[in-house]
Every structure is written in C-alpha cells, then in structure tokens.
Amino acid sequence: MSRLLIITTLVSLLIDQQTIAQTQQNERIQNGRIVVQETLMLEGTVASIRPGRLSLKDRSGKLWNVLVAPAGRDVVTLASGQRLRFPADIQIVGSYPAKKLQAGQILRFQGAVNRLGKTQGPLQTLQLVSDETVTTGIKVLQAARKANEYSECEIVGNFIRSSKGRLFVRIPAKNGFTRRSTLSFAMADNFRAELRTADPSRARAGAKVIQLEVVRLNTKDLVAKTLRVEINALTSRAETLDERLKNKYSHLSDARRQPRIVRSPRFTFMTDISDRQAKILLDKLETMATLLTRYFGRGPKTRMEGFIVSDLSVWPEGVLTEPAGIAKIREGAGICFTSSLGNQRRATLYACDDHGVIQHECTHGFCSLTFGSTGPTWLAEGIAELGQYWKLGQTAVDINPRVLAYLQQAKPKKTLLDIAVPGNVPAGGWRDYAWRWALCHMLAHNPNYATRFKPLAIALMQRTEGVSFTSVYGPLAPQISFEYSLFLQHMELGYRADLCAWQWNTKFRRLKAQQRAQAKIKAAYSWQASGVTLQQGISYDLAATGTWALEQDGTRYDADGDDTGRGTLIGCLFRDYRLSPVMTLGSSSTFRAPSDGQLFLRCQDNFNALGDNAGEIVVHLRRSP
C-alpha cells in the first residue's frame, strides 16, 4: 500500500496563455496558485504508458494515473488543459543479453584494438546509447607503440549481430585508427548490455516500478516527482522510426553546414542543416511520400524542391528570393509555393528546420504535384497534418500533446459544417489545423467512412465538378456527427478510430418472453452491438462466460474484471444518436432497462488502450421470468 506524506509546497506554474477558459473552479486555480497537497510513495508495475502519462498498478491491484513530463521537457499538461512546469527525476534502467540487441543500435564500450582491426579480450558489459547527439567512431585512450600491438580504445559503433560468442559492430570507414569498419569482440559468458535513460517512453506494460514519488495537486492531478523503472527485453518498447534513423546516420556529423544541395529520389533541397539531419529528414520525407502514394494509389512525377533553413545569416544574398517564404522561415514556419502550366507542375518549399513543419508543407507539395491542387482549405490542411503524423503501420492518434490538450478542452467543439467549409478560406493558426486534422483522421481511419474519404479527397484535389463534403457524406450526416462527437470525447494518444467504429449495420430485436439472445464481445474493441433492443422498465437477466486480458500476455479476467473495475463488462443504451449512462453488468446480473434503446456492450478499459487487449466473452441475455 502507498505511504502518504502530507506536505504543503508551492510549485511554479507555466500556463499556456492560449488555453481556453474552463469552469469557474479551474479559472480560480489558474489565476491563483497551484499547491501540492500531499506526496505519495508508490511501487508496482507499469499498466500502460503513453506520452505524458503513466498508469501504475500497485501491489494491491489499484491503478494510479500519473502525469510524467516527456523526455527533454519539464512540462506536464493538467486535466484542465493548463501546462505546469514540473521537472522530474527519471531513471529508466535496462539490462539485455546480446541476442536481444537490435541491428543498428548504438553501443559504447572500451576494448583492446590494434591498427589491423584485430581485438583482444572478452567484453563483459557495454552501454546502449540513447543520446541523439553521439557520433560513432573510435577514440584511443592508451596508444600502443606498434601497429600489431593493442591500444586501449573507446568504441562507439552500431550493433550488427552476435554469433558464436562474438559481438560485431560497425564504425565509420574513415575513423582515423584502422581501415576496418567492422570490428569483432569476444563476449564473456555473463555479457550484458546496459541501458540508462531519462526517457519514460522506453518502458512498456509490465515493467517494474521500483520507486514512484508523486504529488497530488489541489487540481486533483497526480504528477511524478521521482521515477525509477527497471526494464528488460520483454518490458521495453521497440525503437521508433526516429530512433532507428538517428542510429542509422550516427556516423555523420551533426554540425551545421554551409548551404548546399541535398537530394533523394523525390526531393531536392538547398539547406544548411547538418549532414546527419539532412539524411534523417530525407528518409522521413521519402517514407511519408511512400505512405501517401500507397494510400492514394498514385504519386507525383516531378521532384519537389526548395529551401530548408536553420540559420538565415549564413545564406548568401539573392539565393532566397521569395519574401513571403523568408518571412515564414523567420516565424519558425514554412510555406509551399505551387504553380502549374498545363501538365507541368511545380512545388517549391521555404521552411525552417523543424521536421514537422517540413513534412506538413511537403504534403501540400505532394498533393499539388499529384492532383493539380490541394483542394479546399479544410482538406488541404487536414491531409497535410495527417502527412506530418503518419507512421508506417500505425493508425493510432499520435499528435503533439499541446494540440491534443486543446482539442480535449475546447468548448464548444467545432461541428462538421464548421470545419468542412467549401472553397479556400484563410488557413488560420494551429488551432484551425487541429480541427481539420481531427476530422480527416476520423474519416481516414474509421472503416464506416474511410472508403468514401479517399475518393472524395482525390475528387476535390482534382477539382471535379459537383463533388463536395455534403454531396458525399450528406446522407450519413447523423452517423458521422455522432461518431465525430465520440471521437473528440474519448480521443487520447493511442486512440484507434478503427477499434471504436460504431456498428451501425447490426440488426436489433426485442426479446419476447422465453426468448434468449447471445453476443460475442471482444476485449480489443469499443462499444459493440448486442443485437437486442431493451424496453424501459422491463427486467433482464445477463450471464457472461469466457475470459479476456487487458494487455499483452496479461492476466485473464472474467466479465467481473479486476479489483479496480478494469475488465468489467459494461453496457449502455443507444437511442436517437444519444447514449444512456453506463451500466455495470459483470459476469452475472439482473437489471431493469432505464429506457428504450439498443444495448451496446464493451470491456471496461481506456479507449486508447484497446489495441493490446485479447480474448472475448459470450454474453447471454433474456427477459427475467
């Protein structure tokens, strides 16, 4: 059980001045001081983790939802949408055998190497490097007198493989010490690779939390002050695309360069960013263009070109000729200039060195070069935001936490017709982009609407006569409005629209006396149709058989769930595009319908945590005798 210490401490507050007004209570807190009311010392296992938040299951089975500042940032976003500067002391420690290392990972260790590239002595431990700025290479610590003698060196290299008791790493070909770029080292029997990082996202469900010191604020938020987590091969996440690219190009310098031309198959830019960042960026853009091409079924026949600027002062006068483009760069933003003459199309980028900005603007360029235009503003900016966040094989919400907090807290929410305005209107700021992203994300990933979204987008970008948002989705307006409202209500990082699509096509019936109904309910899905319409005031008996799990390789539960309510079978009634309050049903219950309506059921779990659930239960329903 947790140990409580009552403390009264003031913490400094960093409030996003652009956050919309909340309730009177929140306004009072925002205008006053935020106070730490108590400190709790916790331990247990990670139940789930996502950017800015960690759920811990303590030894009693109780869940604690805690805000944790992401790596490299000292700011958390409170439930009210306020941003609080609250530095945390975070240590994530991992230990891995050689067979669990992944190709490309950066390793740092000391070893004996001669100039012929031969090595001596076994390795016992080495360090997995998570520092983005490190450059691979070899540094002599104690030089040998002859070429065939062994110098004591520090090696920073990319892991290739382990085989027959030896570890193979790659160092740059021009390393200044040996002509060999691949080195092989013997490994001791107890060899381990150690990882130490301050990035909480390295952990995943099941990781051991040996210390979590949190403070409870007068806003009711829990915020991490100290976090110690132990991870291993089973409880650490796979490397992200960004991490793999940084490892891949770690042999290149990260120092800024003078403006020069960099190229890839689809892009040509003049830029002053480092060689490493140029390669990483071009890889990300090529991946984005590949994903867009697969999605739309076609891509541009012309390269996109332009200018990516880190430091305007190093650029020769007269190279950058577009005043509007230079102004955007000074703002830390970007713009894509497009033009066409017959079938000849051109897209020119002016942008700062922010990867998100560049991907957004290059999506505009992709669409213009492929289809002739970017379509109406809502579509152009919505798809550009999709392009910025799109990742291979990922359909979950993964956007800037600031954008997410705004969409969650904004009141009133913008309606479909507020967003899908025909024609070209002022693009606005990041808030306007956020609403357009939300609409396009739901339409692109919800299977109820995805099949119509792609043809609609193509037709609008090709300026096809008579096609509009209303002409395509008009007949489905009530359904879309309902699902869009649910999307905004439950959206979190990790939320998957494909697992939350409403089951409109299920046939429902009322149960007569002696009739029974049966439905299979999956743990890895949101609300699911039971096929039964309940009648107000009538009593029903429910029984559920089977088990499900709330995480990969997790504990199996029946429909009563765990001690905290997670995994419990719950239900609600759908009528006239409204949902009733949630009913807790469990594995066996008798209940009276609070109103007429179609019964929908689901496994009690966070909407953004459904993807790793497993199993299903069978629900049996009848009218009570």
Reported as a pLDDT band with limits 50, 70 and 90, residue 40 is: very high
Mean pLDDT within 348-375? 97
Q: C-alpha angle with apex 609: 606 to 611, nearest 5 degrees?
A: 140
What pLDDT score does 18 carry?
33
421 in helix, strand or coil? Answer: coil
Residue with tokens 């299951």: 57
Q: Which of 11-20, 351-360, 423-432 has the highest mean pLDDT?
A: 351-360
* pLDDT single digits (tens) 430-487: 999 999 999 999 999 999 999 999 999 999 999 999 999 999 999 999 999 999 999 9
Q: Where in the chain is the domain with CATH 1.10.390?
A: 262-497
What pLDDT score does 609 carry?
85
Structure token digits, residue 298:
């076609």
- Contact assessment for residue 184 and residue 168, using Cβ atoms and an 8 Å cutoff: yes
Residue 373: name the closest of 462, 459, 465, 266 by CA.
462
What pLDDT score does 1 carry?
36
* pLDDT single digits (tens) 159-183: 999 999 999 999 999 999 999 999 9
Neighbours of 444 (CB within 10 A): 19
User: Mean pLDDT across the chain, nearest whole number?
Assistant: 91
Distances (CA, A) of 497 to 39, 322, 500: 37, 40, 5
Q: Where in the chain is the domain with CATH 2.40.50.140?
A: 3-90+201-230
Say what angle helices 450-461 and 377-389 make with each other, to 10 degrees: 120
Judge whether residue 7 has pLDDT over 70.
Answer: no
Question: In CATH, which of 1.20.58.340, 2.60.300.12, 2.60.15.10, 2.40.50.140 is domain 3-90+201-230?
Answer: 2.40.50.140
Question: In CATH, which of 2.130.10.10, 2.60.120.430, 3.40.50.970, 3.30.530.20 is domain 509-623?
Answer: 2.60.120.430
Sequence-distant (≥ 6) Cβ neighbours of residue 362 within 8 angstroms: 267, 285, 288, 289, 304, 336, 349, 387
Mean pLDDT within 538-562? 91
User: Which position has the higher pLDDT, 443 or 427?
Assistant: 443
Give the integer Cα–Cα distance in Å for 367 and 462.
10
What pLDDT score does 27 carry?
39
Reported as a pLDDT band with limits 50, 70 and 90, residue 514 is: confident
* pLDDT single digits (tens) 565-620: 889 999 999 999 999 999 999 999 999 999 999 999 999 998 988 998 999 999 99
Judge whether residue 550 has pLDDT over 90.
Answer: no
Q: Which CATH architecture has domain 262-497?
A: Orthogonal Bundle (1.10)
Give the integer Cα–Cα distance in Å for 292 and 374.
13
From the centroid of its chain, how far is CA 261?
32
End-to-end CA distance of the chain: 45
Residue 600: name the closest of 577, 442, 613, 445 by CA.
577
Reported as a pLDDT band with limits 50, 70 and 90, residue 77 is: confident
- Contact assessment for residue 22 and residue 10, using Cβ atoms and an 8 Å cutoff: no
Q: Where in the chain is the domain with CATH 2.60.120.430?
A: 509-623
What pLDDT score does 130 carry?
84
Mean pLDDT within 265-288? 97
Mean pLDDT within 51-59? 87
Structure token digits, residue 49:
């983790």
Judge whether residue 15 has pLDDT over 70.
Answer: no
The strands making up 344-352's β-sheet, listed across from edge to edge, are: 260-263, 267-271, 304-309, 344-352, 334-341
What pLDDT score does 6 carry?
28
Reported as a pLDDT band with limits 50, 70 and 90, residue 560 is: very high
475 in helix, strand or coil? Answer: helix
Strands 106-113 and 208-217: unpaired
